[in-house]
Structure 1
Amino acid sequence: MTPRPFNIVVVAQAGRLQYEALLFAASLRQMSPDFSGKLIVAVPQAGDRWSKDPSVRDSAVLDTFARLDATILPFENKEFGASYPNGNKIELLSALPAGEPFVFFDSDTLITGDITQVPFDFDRPSASLKREGTWPKPTLYGPGYAGIWASLYDRFGLDFDSSLDLSQPDEYWQRFLYFNAGFFFGACPVEFGRLYLEYARAIWTDPPVELVGQALDPWLDQIALPLVIHALGGGRDTLPAGYLDGSVSCHYRLFPLLYARESDRVIEVLEQVAAPNWLKKVLKTYEPMKRMIYQGKGHKVRALFDQNALPHREQAIRNRIKAEGYWTR
């Protein structure tokens, strides 16, 4: 059976994201040479929602994207902008080619394997299950997880009961559909984006009373995402485990954390991808990459930890790195 063609999209904007997106693009080209879809780099444009111009204007960065055969796609952020930058991933979807299957990745991701071998079912969308129970945080006097999530499904006319994982205990966070928004995929970005924006805007501006006392920032994208996926017939089990957030991709988030806790394979791919001089001269202008990758500080971070016995809490990893003076953002 011939795999269905699809596009890949990441966000880039002035500052950190443009360098992360370059590294993502380079890793895709090196590790997945048979990928034949479009690699789209979505760039928010200056507008009323931004206090500073977020667009990518560095000529060296733009030339490097061109060398990596990445399509720069300007888009207008009409709803969130600087007030909620994660909203970029919601608003860019309407600018993508309608009807063409897509996979969105956060820019702080490395492709570490052949993405053409991932068995996407675009008619049953899904997203990253590499997450913790970050939202909601039920209060002592209620409502609990079920009451909070049910209020959102009811708000948008969705069937709540069919979203539940009944193998999980009642009032345990994994019983409820919840994703990390580090990647997600679907059959049509315009349809996906329309629902995503509708749900996110309503939650942001007029949340159900059950959400009183619940933080929406930075979790809004991850609150609305399961509702969109459920509405479009997707779910938690539509993508076999072990590919994304596994052998084919790594959502590393920050370079000190990457060196501290990711596998030897991820480190090998990172340094292999970042090695060519034409890419190195651009990436090393970003201080965290310069220090971690090119000046060898990453390996000093790695030596602080036993990767087979890492601290259970991420904060403990961060604190150790900061105490040794190696922390960068």
Structure 2
Amino acid sequence: MQAKRPEFNVVVIGQNNRIQFEAVLFAASLRHSSPRFSGRLIVAVPQEGPLWKNDPSIQNPDVLRALDHFGAEILPFNNEVFGESYPQGNKIEALLSLPSGEPFVFFDSDTLITGELAEVPFDFDRPSASRKVEGTWPKPTLYGPDIGGIWRALYDRFGLDFESSLDTSQPQGYWRRFLYFNAGYFYYKCPRLFGERFLNLARTIRDEDIPELTGQKLDPWLDQAALPLVIHSLGGSRDSLPDGHLDGPVSCHYRLFPLLYARESDNVIEVLEKASAPNKVKKVLKTYDPIKKLVYQGKGRKIREMFDRDNLPHREQVIRKTIKSKGLWQR
């Protein structure tokens, strides 16, 4: 008899910009693709405060009604450390307001759920995060240290065992040898424990003078610099979640709608268009230009015809330039 999978909460950020529309689409795709998901869907919303020039909270009543229609709970939270200077920090500070001791999966709002989330074999005692990542950070400078020296300095700073984090099947100096994740999703058994650790590490990396980080760009990479240390310190790893689920048949971190139409599978396109089709959803999403033009006016299909998914350009910049040359880029 198969063991019952634990119930868990799903968390995304909602904010008074494009992210509010992405959150609605995320919620629509979750309900469309994962009817067996029985946990709470939480939309964490930053509140007005001294770290924001303008009120970042969701004020659009149609957006709020749409989120309520999909059973989403609005969870207000305050920014004490990041805010407008580093909005990616929302995903860190929001965790401190989530229910303590309840397993969670955080997703970036620019994600679609494309399969049954309830079937994903999460081990919430062993956290992990998205491995759909390129070697974006760190970038060693001419005078050193090398990539291994930079990562080792961070592990040493926080009293973590560096050697046990390495994938020794990868060559010396190659970025995949080192634990590195995309923060597009991550999970653990308790958001407060994860969030406190994440906040402490990220704030220290940002504020402290760590010599080995001289010349390293931390905006926007701060969350991805800290995340491997968080996961390693809590007993997780790169292999905690088997392949073939998230960033695969069950979820798609699309980032931008033109890239979605250019690169993603037919199933992802089908989920996008079916989840956004009901009138209650369409009323809200058509007020956001990229969805209005690419999804509802069919211009995304024109982008799709421009590319062979089995033979895409290796560089994303080439895809962007090709789309822009036809006047179809939307952001």
TM-score (norm 2): 0.99
SS in 2 for 1:311: coil
Distance of aligned partners of 1:72 and 1:192 in 2 relative to their CA distance in 1, 3 Å threshold: same
Whole-angstrom distance in 1 between the partners of 2:208 and 2:100: 29
How far off is 1:291 after superposition?
Answer: 0.5
Residue 279 of structure 1 is matched in structure 2 by: 281
Residue 151 of structure 1 is matched in structure 2 by: 153
Q: Does the alignment pair 1:78 with 2:64?
A: no
Give 2:271's aligned amino acid. V
Whole-angstrom distance in 1 between the partners of 2:118 and 2:196: 27
Q: 1:194 aligns with which of 190, 193, 196?
A: 196
Residue 299 of structure 2 is matched in structure 1 by: 297
Residue 169 of structure 1 is matched in structure 2 by: 171
Whole-angstrom distance in 2 between the partners of 1:34 and 1:91: 29
Q: 2:51 aligns with which of 30, 49, 52?
A: 49
Distance of aligned partners of 1:2 and 1:207 in 2 relative to their CA distance in 1, 3 Å threshold: farther
Per-residue CA deviations over 1:69-120 (Å, capped at 9, x if unaligned) read 0000000011010000000000000000000000000000000000000000
Give 1:45's aligned amino acid. Q
Whole-angstrom distance in 1 between the partners of 2:26 and 2:155: 35
Identity of aligned residues (%): 66
Per-residue CA deviations over 1:39-64 (Å, capped at 9, x if unaligned) read 00000000000001000011111011
Residue 120 of structure 1 is matched in structure 2 by: 122
Whole-angstrom distance in 1 between the partners of 2:152 and 2:94: 28
How far off is 1:30 after superposition?
Answer: 1.1
Number of equivalences? 329
Whole-angstrom distance in 1 between the partners of 2:153 and 2:264: 38
How far off is 1:140 after superposition?
Answer: 2.2
Per-residue CA deviations over 1:100-144 (Å, capped at 9, x if unaligned) read 000000000000000000000000000000000000011222100
How far off is 1:307 after superposition?
Answer: 1.2
Residue 41 of structure 2 is matched in structure 1 by: 39
Whole-angstrom distance in 1 between the partners of 2:209 and 2:128: 24
Residue 262 of structure 1 is matched in structure 2 by: 264
Whole-angstrom distance in 2 between the partners of 1:139 and 1:54: 36
Q: 2:316 aligns with which of 305, 314, 319?
A: 314
How far off is 1:306 after superposition?
Answer: 1.1
How far off is 1:207 after superposition?
Answer: 4.1
SS in 2 for 1:21: helix
Give 2:207's aligned amino acid. T
Residue 221 of structure 1 is matched in structure 2 by: 223
Residue 253 of structure 1 is matched in structure 2 by: 255
TM-score (norm 1): 0.99
Residue 184 of structure 1 is matched in structure 2 by: 186
